[in-house]
Amino acid sequence: MFDVEQQPDLAFSKPVVGPYSSPFGLKRFFNGEPRNPHSGLDIAAPTGTPIQAPAAGKVVLTGDFFFNGNVVYMDHGQGVISMFCHLSEIKVKQGDVLDKNQILGKVGATGRVTGPHLHWSVSLNNVRIDPMLLLPKETQAE
Ligand SMILES: [Zn+2]
């Protein structure tokens, strides 16, 4: 049974099948003014595409937020937190313990977005890291 105190399995799997549409750290501009660099990795996929847990973990929060839309937060252990944004459907609830590859929701376009995609952020002790670093080499080029 997964426990949030355990060491995370850092060999993650790609949570959604689809092309990467916006990399982590991309510098963005709005009306010519710099904004915060992109805090996650975007994967483009049609609304309704299943999102699989990239690693085992516990659902620590779900909600519907203005910018991020329907969101699921997962704790993979030892302060490694995934955030999945813009979901069309949330299939889990707070407190659920998920196996790797278990479906947690579906891709959507909720919140402030222009089209359906998964925005996936990973933070390590509150510092955002590039989720790509946790994915196997063969899925980094897709
Ligand atoms: Zn994004």
Residue 8 Cα to ligand 1 midpoint, Å, equals 24
The reported pLDDT for the residue numbered 53 is 98
d(CA 98, CA 82): 13
Residue 122 Cα to ligand 1 midpoint, Å, equals 12
d(CA 9, CA 56): 8
Residue 60 Cα to ligand 1 midpoint, Å, equals 21
Residue 123 Cα to ligand 1 midpoint, Å, equals 14
Domain layout of the chain by residue ranges: 20-140
Topology of domain 20-140 in CATH is Glucose Permease (Domain IIA) (2.70.70)
Residue 79 Cα to ligand 1 midpoint, Å, equals 21
Residues with CB under 5 A from ligand 1 (ion): 40, 42, 119
- Tens of pLDDT, residue by residue over 38-91, are 999 999 999 999 999 999 999 999 999 999 999 999 999 998 999 999 999 999
Give the confidence band of 105 by pLDDT, cuts at 50, 70, 90: very high
| pTM reported for the whole predicted model | 0.93
d(CA 63, CA 53): 17
- In this structure, the number of other CB atoms found within 10 A of the CB of residue 107 comes to 25
65 within 8 A of 71, measured Cβ to Cβ:
yes
3-state secondary structure the chain: CCCCCCCCCCCCCCCCCCCEEECCCCCCEECCEECCCCCCEEEECCCCCEEECCCCEEEEEEEEECCCEEEEEEECCCCEEEEEEEECEECCCCCCEECCCCEEEECECCCCCCCCEEEEEEEECCEEECHHHHCCHHHHCC
